[in-house]
Amino acid sequence: MSPFPRRVRAEVDGATDHSTHCPFKGDASYWSVRVGDRVVENAVWGYPAPLPEAQWSTGYVAPYFAKMDRWFDEDTEVFGHLRDPYHRVDARPSSRRVRVNVNGETVADTTEAVVVSETGAANRWYLPIDAVSIDLTATDTTTHCPYTGQTTYWTGDGIADIAWSYPDPFDGLTTIAGYVSVDDGLDAVTVTV
């Protein structure tokens, strides 16, 4: 890690005995990271002598995201993973009619949805929470998306985590605050636009 003193604000505490093998890159070595009196074991890994087809990785190391307390991209805290500058997520109000059926029954029918388009993913429809007729109860499930923010998941109609919302979405997506998206990946759910 010494070639990158400006990028790493921690002290690499020497190689550990831990190693793994990748059939594409070779044998990985691991290092611990020391910050003050705290040591995080096997927090960083790399390929000191990679296979010929992975020579590009020589001299590089990668930290485990989950082993660090916090991540920053410059002065902005990062959640989930670093953002890809070529990845877009856009939210736009839509007057198209969106219907949601759960187990064959219509539970939402609105022309006040917000469509979220994300690189490499199908459009996702967010509905005003009061447009959903089933009772939704917040669950303990949460996820973090580096593009949209932290989710709150909801149980409804006896189906756990049937929907999610972003109470405080990141800039550019504030139009989905107070809206909910129903998981059309579940067998019981159909979203029609």
pTM: 0.74
- Both tokens of 35, joined, read 């910050």
- 3-state secondary structure string across the chain: CCCCCCCCCCEEEEEEEEEEEECCCEEEEEEEEEECCEEEEEEEEECCCCCHHHHHHCCCEEECHHHCCCEEECCEEECCCCCCCCCCEEEEEECCCEEEEECCEEEEEECCEEEEEECCCCCEEEEEHHHECCCEEECCCCCEECCCEECEEEEECCEEEEEEECCCCCCCCHHHCCEEEECCCCCCEEEEC
Bridge pairing between strands 89-94 and 113-118: antiparallel
Spatial contact of 126 and 114, defined as CB atoms under 8 Å apart: yes
Biggest CA–CA distance in the chain, Å, is: 61
Neighbours of 80 (CB within 10 A): 15
Q: Domain map of the chain by residue range?
A: 11-69, 89-192
Per-residue pLDDT of the chain (193 residues; tens, 9 = 90+): 334 433 555 556 678 999 999 999 999 999 998 888 888 999 999 999 999 999 999 988 888 888 988 888 889 888 888 888 899 999 999 999 999 999 999 999 999 999 999 999 999 999 999 999 999 999 999 999 999 999 999 999 999 999 999 999 998 999 999 999 999 999 999 999 9
Please give the Cα distance from 114 to 4 (Å, whole number): 43
Neighbours of 127 (CB within 10 A): 25
Q: Does domain 89-192 have CATH number 2.170.150.40?
A: yes
Architecture of the domain spanning 11-69:
Beta Complex (2.170)
Please give the Cα distance from 66 to 84 (Å, whole number): 18
């129903």: which residue's tokens? Answer: 182
Same fold, 11-69 and 89-192: yes
pLDDT tens-digit readout, 147-165:
999 999 999 999 999 999 9
